[in-house]
Amino acid sequence: MQGYIAKRILIAIFTIFAVMTVVFFVFRLGPADPVAVMLSPNATPQDAENLTKKFGLDKPLIIQYGNFLKNVSKGDFGTSFRFNEPALKVLFERFPATLKLGLAAFFVSVSMGLCLGILSAVKPDSIIDRLGRLLALAGMSLPSFWVGVMLILFFGVTLRWLPIAGRGTAMHYVMPTLCMSLYPIALITRLSRSSMLDALKSDYVTMARIKGVPEFYVIMLHAFKNAAIPVITVIFGLFGALMVGSAVVVEYIFSWPGIGRLVMESYFARDYPVVQIFVIFVTFVVVSLNLIVDIVYAYIDPRIRYQ
Amino acid sequence: MQTNQDNILELQNVTTTFFTKQGEVKAVDDVSFRVGKGETVGLVGESGCGKSVTSLSIMRLVPQPAGKIVSGKILFRNEDLMQKTEEEMRHLRGDRLSMILQDPMVAMNQLLTVGKQLGEPYVFHDKVKGSLQGMCIDLLRKVKVPAPESRVNDYPFQFSGGMSQRALIAMGIANNPDLLIADEPTTALDVTIATQVLKLMKEIQGETNSSIILITHDLATVAQICTRVLVMYAGRIVESAPIKTFYKNPAHPYSVGLIQSVPVLGRSVERLASISGQPPSLFAMPEGCRFAPRCDKAHKKCFKAYPPKTQLEDDHSAACWLYVKD
């Protein structure tokens, strides 16, 4: 068990390092010059040169990479060109907003997805199953930027029930949460449904019924525990990526002051250090969640625990 | 002929149908038989002949929603199980009426300890007296699992095949059921372990006086522990006979074929006898006797209509035109 966890942690560290390297080079291979973007139109060539020197952009790429690694080891991920503050600080100032929205979407999608999935599997072809299938199809196929705009149009502009942008009251959460949850709900519904159907058909479920175990326990204790294993991967593993990925789109649409919108602004402003720390941070989140999944697996599945 | 009072189970014209996209399949077709108190009845037949569906029908656990018991009566302790509600059935299952599935490796939940699964028949039938852990350990001891005190906390994947089968039997017999259906309990095991398991079932039966329906395709197993044999072919019972009569004097040509295809120690033969052909497709059942296309004694009549059940002697009946006197 300890060996298992140690191995996972090593793999996680290596993954983060690899992503950091790729991110560093990809951003520097781009054609746009960040210095040109930062300078005011009436700046002199001397100003440009000073700025280039200040950020170390005049040195060869490999030296820049060496410096980057040195700084990262000290916890310095570069300075935002735009705000002239440490990139990490800029990111963390905006992070709570994203986290709150992400958690709201997380709970909505997990509870909705699991309920729909389990109920659909328990009673296939029932009304709930049909509804679930329709919702899953919609959630899978409708892009969140379109859903977001339609929500704003319908609930915000036509009905005027909900605020269309910004953050403050609980009402502000409704539309972005809905918009962000639709795809994960679809995914979790489909996955938990098929996984539950398999489990309910299995011999160990029949055996539980033979023993006279009440149906509720058959479903939750015997079937769901087994069915949960593949679903957990999605819930935690994919979720980090999904949440942050869709945060970029959803936060932009609803003017949510989180890191998703920050990265869009930074990207347009060629503020590389901020975009860079965003990607590294997302990697860190996804890798950590996967690490948690691996450990949760071991907890649920004794076959892994006893390896 | 035994009276009704001595029967623990009686099936009357039970038909179980699966409604599939390809059409209706009568997996169990007009099946009637009885099981006496303390009796061990062997239900034999090829794979796919409806043995397992018959047993699931008795448990009222035919896979839903495709499968359904469409007609017939299942009298258990003289009460028709078809009239019972799901909750009443749940109280019977695992208590008075129990079953052991064929593959112990998949019949046990890999994520729960053996002890937890063994305890369920006690917990859900309010039979816990004293320590549940202790009851589970006693149960494992009863089925001769070595070191039950530590084994009770193991997970199924830590058990060997033979031990898993024993644990599964333990779950089936926990509450000393009146009827235990054992669906190929020895198929997944090697011969020595299989013999031990059969011996164990026989011993337990001696203690509890349960009736057993042993489902198998292995006639040697039947010979070891059964008192009576039911032969099933393509969803129907074709012969019912006491064990001695069955081996000495089988009536149905299918039974004769089955017995001839068992190798006998010490008798050398060029080639082991076999029944030629394949069982009919469940979607396209022949109109007459279902065995007729493979039967060397078949005549015109056999292809026209299904033969009625004929009583040959006490407790020995067969469904074959050879025995119908007109």
**Could you state, in chain order, the average pLDDT of each consecutive group of 10 residues for chain B (326 residues)?**
71 93 89 93 90 93 88 93 94 94 89 94 92 94 91 93 90 92 84 85 87 90 90 94 92 91 76 81 84 89 90 89 84
B19 and chain A: CB distance < 8 Å anywhere? no
Q: What is the pLDDT of residue B168?
A: 92
* Whether the Cβ atoms of residue A92 and residue A277 lie closer than 8 Å to each other: no
Q: Do B143 and B170 contact (CB within 8 A), yes or no?
A: yes
> What pLDDT score does A210 carry?
95
pLDDT tens-digit series, residues A256-298: 888 889 988 888 887 888 888 888 888 888 888 888 888 887 7
What residue type is assigned to position A255 of the chain? S
b/e string for A131-159 if b means 16 or more Cβ within 10 A?
ebbebbeebeeeebeebbeebbeebbeee
Provide the number of CB pairs (under 8 Å) joining chain A to chain B. 85
CB A185 within 8 A of CB A114: no
Q: What is the pLDDT averaged over residues A88-101?
A: 89
With an 8 Å Cβ cutoff, are B111 and A125 in contact? no
**Minimal Cβ distance to B109: which of A210, A215, A222:** A222
- The answer to whether B287 and B270 have CB atoms below 8 angstroms apart is no
Q: For residues B241 and B246, what is the distance between their CA atoms, to the nearest angstrom?
A: 6
User: So what's the pLDDT on residue A35?
Assistant: 73
**Helix A203-210 with B161-173: angle, nearest 10 deg:** 30
By CB atoms closer than 10 A (0-12, 13-18, 19+), residue A36 is exposed
What are the pLDDT digits (tens) for A23-61? 888 877 766 666 776 677 777 888 878 877 777 777 888
Give the pLDDT confidence score for residue A32 in this predicted structure.
62
- Confidence at A243, pLDDT banded by 50, 70, 90: low
What values do phi and psi take at B11, rounded to 5? -100, 130
d(CA B185, CA B43): 12
Contact status, residue A180 vs residue A144, Cβ threshold 8 Å: yes
pLDDT of residue A31: 63
The predicted pLDDT at position B1 comes to 43
Q: Do A203 and B125 touch (CB under 8 A)?
A: no
Second-level CATH architecture of A90-305? Orthogonal Bundle (1.10)
Q: Do the chains contact at A225 and B111, CB–CB below 8 Å?
A: yes
> Quick check: B189 and B11 in contact, CB under 8 A?
no
Chain B hits for A202, CB-CB cut-off 8 Å, are 106
Q: How far is A131 from chain B (nearest CA, A)?
A: 19
Task: Specify the pLDDT at position B314.
Answer: 82
Predicted local distance difference test score (pLDDT) of residue B182: 93
**Which residues from B are below 8 Å from A203, CB to CB?**
101, 103, 106-107
Euclidean distance between CA atoms A117 and A230, whole angstroms: 13
DSSP 3-state percent helix, strand, coil across chain B (nearest 5): 35, 25, 40
Per CB-CB distance under 8 Å, the chain A contacts of B168 are 207
Q: Which of B61, B124, B174 sits opposite A206 (nearest CB)?
A: B61
Is any Cβ of chain B less than 8 angstroms from the Cβ of A306? yes
B111–A212 C-beta distance less than 8 A: no
Give pLDDT, residue A125: 87
d(CA B238, CA B255): 8
Higher local confidence (pLDDT), A112 or B277: A112
Model pLDDT for residues A146-170, shown as the tens digit of each residue: 988 998 888 888 888 888 777 878 8
Say if B59 is an interface residue toward chain A (CB within 8 Å).
Answer: yes
Contact B124 A211 (CB under 8 A): yes
| Residue of B61, B89, B120 to mutate when probing chain A, most A C-beta within 10 A | B120
- The pLDDT, as a whole number, for residue B2 is 45
Q: What is the mean pLDDT of chain A?
A: 86
Domain boundaries of chain A, sorted by first residue: 90-305
Q: Is the Cβ of A214 closer than 8 Å to some Cβ of chain B?
A: yes
Q: With contact defined as beta carbons under 8 Å apart, do B233 and B290 qualify? A: yes
Question: What are B261-272's pLDDT values in tens digits?
Answer: 887 777 777 777
User: If DSSP codes are grouped into helix, strand and coil, which group holds residue B188?
Assistant: coil
Name chain A contacts of B176, Cβ cutoff 8 Å: none
- Closest Cα partner for B122 from B175, B180, B176? B175
| pLDDT of the residue at B138 | 93
Q: Chain B neighbours among A 217-256 (CB < 8 Å)? A: 217, 221-222, 225-226
Task: For residues B208 and B38, give the distance between their C-alpha atoms in angstroms, rounded to a whole number.
Answer: 9
pLDDT of residue A242: 64
Q: Which residues of A touch B91 (CB under 8 A)?
A: 212
Interfacial B residues in 108-127 facing A (CB < 8 Å):
108-112, 120-121, 124-125
E strands present in A28-128: none
Q: Based on C-alpha coordinates, what's the Rg of chain B?
A: 20
Q: Which amino acid is at A93?
A: E
Q: Please give the pLDDT value at position B4.
A: 56
CB contact under 8 A, B93 and A209: yes
Nearest CB among B61, B107, B124 relative to A204 is that of B107
A300 touches chain B (CB under 8 A): yes
Residue A83 pLDDT greater than 90, yes or no: no
Task: Please judge whether B109 and A226 are an interchain contact, meaning their C-beta atoms are less than 8 angstroms apart.
Answer: yes
Strands, E, within chain A: which ranges? none
> Which of A211, A214, A300 lies closest to B111 in CB terms?
A300
pLDDT the model gives residue A14: 92
A238, amino acid identity: L
